[in-house]
Structure 1
Amino acid sequence: MLAGRSVILGVTGGIAAYKTAELASALTRAGAVVHVIMTRAAGEFIRPLTFAALTGQPVHTGIFDPGPGGPIPHIELARRADLVVVAPATANILAKLAHGLADDLLSTTLLAVNCPVVLCPAMNAQMYSHPAVQANLARLREMGLHILEPEDGRLACGVQGRGRMREPAEILEYIQGFFTRDDLAGLQVLITAGGTREPLDPVRYLSNRSSGKMGYALARAAVQRGARVTLVSAPTSLLPPAGVELVSVETAREMYRAVMERFAEQDVVVKAAAVADYRPVVCAEQKIKKGTDSLILELVRNPDILSELGLRKAPRQILVGFAAETEDLEANALQKVEKKNLDLLVANDVTQPGAGFGSDTNIVKMVYPGGHIQPLPLMDKLSLAHRIWDAVVELRSGKSPA
């Protein structure tokens, strides 16, 4: 997504500048050409040499320094930019930009660019909540700039409040959204994620090792590509992606009801959740106490959500399932894709390194009706999510898998 893109990274004078070094490195690893512009105050927190080493590009600090390819640096930098990111964006730079002030290289460049500008505010909580700062942010939004709001947390000044700059990984993900395709625009998409829980008593439950990372990555990628996304999620420790409708559930039956109530209006459903196959026949009203050396639990089958969707699926709808296997991956996957009337099954062997539950990466095989199998290499889950959506787009266009 970022390969060959020219990104201006503006760094201003805030303690969060140390995080920006990680962002510069991540952008460079993703293939972007990163031109760092530092204000004088930024140099009090982090040295230009750090960014030069991480990006492989000269760092720009002075308004009269020679620019890349020309004598007017703010014009040359602005002309080449595909995107500008200011991180951290202090109250000072927000005020300058909101009122068109230009007294250094960064502020003059910001007035000269003709590309998206992303501002990542970071400051003391009281400063952030000040009416002047909020008025400036409102004005900048009206001007069409993109504000990646700070988060709550412990600040460098020792107080707790809103003002922490977003983490570099979140900023990178936000940036990638500007360069993704909009081939899912107008589509209604439902994704399930996480591992359901089946209560034994008020404090215990049966569940599985699913972290929800794959389902949440699918939701993020779908939003980036323009879809309207409903995320039906079992409990996880993950924050829902911005822009999704989150439906929180706990048990398999709750997930069944949430999905079935919304299925008819969906264009695509991706069942990435790990749904419990069985639940206890009885949930004890009180905590089960230790007694004999053994305890027998009677279990009953939960509804098979994917099979039910396969029966109800309309010709216009695309249904994608997931299968986590520990043996006979291809045979089990081929059987499941036909039995459940799926358009695509994403299967992985969870015993492989890099493909297990909770991992940030995955290794899968894309299994289609008719027996076609497309193996994919190890990749991070967001990249895999985009590969899955690429396959969905091809299926909707009527193309057969190669």
Structure 2
Amino acid sequence: MLTGKKVLLGVTGGIAAFKAASLCSKLVKEGAEVRVIMTDSATKFITELTMQALSKNFVYTDTFDEKHAESIAHINLADWADLVLVAPATANIIGKMAAGIADDMLSTTLLATQAPIMLAPAMNVHMYEHPAVTRNLSELAARGVLMIEPGEGLLACGYTGKGRMEEPESIVQVVNDYFAREDRISQKPLSGKKMVVTAGGTVERIDPVRYITNDSSGKMGFAIAKAAQRLGADVVLIAGHTQVEPPVGIPVTRVLSAQDMYEAVQAVWSDTDILVKAAAVADYRPKEAAVQKIKKSDDSLVLELVKNIDILETLGKQKTMQFLIGFAAETENVEQHAMDKLKRKNCDLLVANDVTALGAGFGSETNIVNIYDASGLVRSVPKMAKDEVALQILELVGERLAGTDR
């Protein structure tokens, strides 16, 4: 299944380095061309000769040991790879990657490559849970580094907990799935579909200098728009108040209030195939917006709020052939609230997250979501970059529209 794929395997100095031999062998048997970089510490656990025999290629350990005069090894390897897989990935290499340190062959190559990077962390449970390691992993996930979660169980150090490198068979399956997915993306499964994406928060004016809004940054909606374009859709982006710039190359209609957003969606609704309602729309607005700035006077100020139009519910009632995806940002009872919202608003899919969870809140670079349909939970997406979360959501949409429903 990996025939023709070029995998650069990085092996670092943890006891799980012995698993790298089996991993390398299995990748080669699957048809991949494998080249190996070992850190100096890794060679204390497993020999270069072992990895050379299994990969049938030179093993690289020293940045200054140039095996071919016509090229610079770490740049050549960085350009060569279709995927860089670091297994095991110790706390040390994770920290170097997060900080941009390049002080050996592996860290230098990781800094130079434009290929996707996949990490299989392995370390003591207390190291894995250390705030510095947690921060570094979150930083790398936000940059789009792919993670293979470590397993739980008895560790080599004698502790029991999370930190054991995933088994080679499972890692090979993840690599297979990654390349299969890239092949599906290259086929543009949403080609010919018009997708409307709403993003950001709405602004409801109190007076000319004050307004009601929320913490939505627009990052998730913008990630959805980019993923839709990558999958071949004709994308229309409708954005409210955002903290970041919209993706380049996608037309944007800017709006302020909930009513503005509703009207913008209605203008394109009739020929929409897919609507992703990722915007955080204000539920209420001031009954009357003051024409002039409200001056401070009494100790209290009473604002009368009235309900805004519920865009998602309205479109759910109006839809004919449109595929409708809603979002729910919750702080408690996530599944209960998500299923209730999906049914009330007649969504085909509902993407829910707990915004109180670390790495899933407003403005973060990552997200953690559960995707529901009328029958319940369809897919759980662990913490990863919002661009990656967006691809997972839209892949599911493509499967539903194609009738494959994997």
Could you say whether these structures have the same fold, taking a TM-score greater than 0.5 normalized by the shorter chain as the test? yes
Q: Secondary structure at the match of 1:211?
A: coil
Corresponding letter in the other structure for 2:336 = A
For residues 252 and 230 of structure 2, the distance between their equivalents in structure 1, rounded to whole angstroms, comes to 16
Of 386, 391, 401, the residue aligned with 1:386 is 391
For the pair 1:195 / 2:177, whether they are aligned, the reply is no
Corresponding letter in the other structure for 2:330 = E
Deviation at 1:243, TM superposition (A): 2.2
For residues 218 and 273 of structure 1, the distance between their equivalents in structure 2, rounded to whole angstroms, comes to 11
Deviation at 1:327, TM superposition (A): 1.3
Tell me: CA distance 1:377–1:203, structure 2 relative to 1, closer, same or farther (3 Å): same
Q: Secondary structure at the match of 2:217?
A: coil
Output one character per residue of 1:102-153: Cα deviation in whole Å (capped at 9) or x when no partner.
Answer: xxxxxxxxxxxxxxxx9xxxxxxxxxxxxxxxxxxxxxxxxxxxxxxxxxxx
Q: Secondary structure at the match of 1:186?
A: coil
Corresponding letter in the other structure for 1:65 = A
Report what 1:268 is aligned to: 274
Question: Is the 2:201–2:213 Cα contact (8 Å) retained in structure 1?
Answer: yes
Report what 1:65 is aligned to: 69
Report what 1:204 is aligned to: 210
Deviation at 1:58, TM superposition (A): 8.2
Question: Is the 2:203–2:256 Cα contact (8 Å) retained in structure 1?
Answer: yes
Deviation at 1:343, TM superposition (A): 0.6
Question: Is the 1:228–1:244 Cα contact (8 Å) retained in structure 2?
Answer: no
Deviation at 1:241, TM superposition (A): 1.2
Output one character per residue of 1:187-229: Cα deviation in whole Å (capped at 9) or x when no partner.
Answer: 1111000010100000000000101110001111111122111
Question: Is the 2:6–2:80 Cα contact (8 Å) retained in structure 1?
Answer: no
Corresponding letter in the other structure for 1:186 = G
Deviation at 1:400, TM superposition (A): 4.1
For residues 331 and 172 of structure 1, the distance between their equivalents in structure 2, rounded to whole angstroms, comes to 31
Of 242, 246, 251, the residue aligned with 1:245 is 251
Q: TM-score, normalised by structure 2?
A: 0.57
Paired residues in the alignment total 263
For the pair 1:329 / 2:337, whether they are aligned, the reply is no
Structure 1 portions without partners, runs of 5+: 8-31, 35-55, 84-117, 119-168
Deviation at 1:372, TM superposition (A): 3.5
For residues 33 and 199 of structure 1, the distance between their equivalents in structure 2, rounded to whole angstroms, comes to 59
For residues 312 and 330 of structure 1, the distance between their equivalents in structure 2, rounded to whole angstroms, comes to 25
Deviation at 1:301, TM superposition (A): 0.8
Report what 1:229 is aligned to: 235
Tell me: CA distance 1:4–1:359, structure 2 relative to 1, closer, same or farther (3 Å): farther
Of 334, 340, 343, the residue aligned with 2:345 is 340
Tell me: CA distance 1:324–1:80, structure 2 relative to 1, closer, same or farther (3 Å): closer
Tell me: CA distance 1:328–1:292, structure 2 relative to 1, closer, same or farther (3 Å): same
Of 349, 367, 371, the residue aligned with 1:362 is 367
Report what 1:353 is aligned to: 358
For residues 4 and 230 of structure 1, the distance between their equivalents in structure 2, rounded to whole angstroms, comes to 35
Report what 2:299 is aligned to: 293
Output one character per residue of 1:226-285: Cα deviation in whole Å (capped at 9) or x when no partner.
Answer: 211111000213222122110000110000000011011111110000000000011101
Deviation at 1:349, TM superposition (A): 0.9
For residues 290 and 338 of structure 1, the distance between their equivalents in structure 2, rounded to whole angstroms, comes to 44
For the pair 1:375 / 2:380, whether they are aligned, the reply is yes
Question: Is the 2:328–2:353 Cα contact (8 Å) retained in structure 1?
Answer: yes
Structure 2 portions without partners, runs of 5+: 9-32, 36-59, 84-113, 115-140, 146-178
Question: Is the 1:270–1:320 Cα contact (8 Å) retained in structure 2?
Answer: yes
Superposed, 1:83-122 pairs within 5 Å as none
Of 207, 219, 225, the residue aligned with 2:225 is 219
Deviation at 1:333, TM superposition (A): 0.7
Runs of 4+ in 1 over 4 A off after TM superposition: 3-7, 56-60, 79-83
Corresponding letter in the other structure for 1:371 = G
For the pair 1:255 / 2:242, whether they are aligned, the reply is no
Corresponding letter in the other structure for 2:248 = A
Corresponding letter in the other structure for 2:264 = A
Of 309, 313, 318, the residue aligned with 2:319 is 313
Identity %: 46
Question: Is the 1:223–1:243 Cα contact (8 Å) retained in structure 2?
Answer: no
Q: Secondary structure at the match of 2:195?
A: strand
Deviation at 1:67, TM superposition (A): 5.4
Of 190, 200, 204, the residue aligned with 1:184 is 190
Report what 2:104 is aligned to: none
Tell me: CA distance 1:59–1:297, structure 2 relative to 1, closer, same or farther (3 Å): same
Output one character per residue of 1:309-346: Cα deviation in whole Å (capped at 9) or x when no partner.
Answer: 1111123x211000011111111111111111111000
Deviation at 1:308, TM superposition (A): 1.1
Corresponding letter in the other structure for 2:392 = R
For residues 267 and 386 of structure 1, the distance between their equivalents in structure 2, rounded to whole angstroms, comes to 18
Q: Secondary structure at the match of 1:254?
A: helix
For residues 193 and 296 of structure 1, the distance between their equivalents in structure 2, rounded to whole angstroms, comes to 30
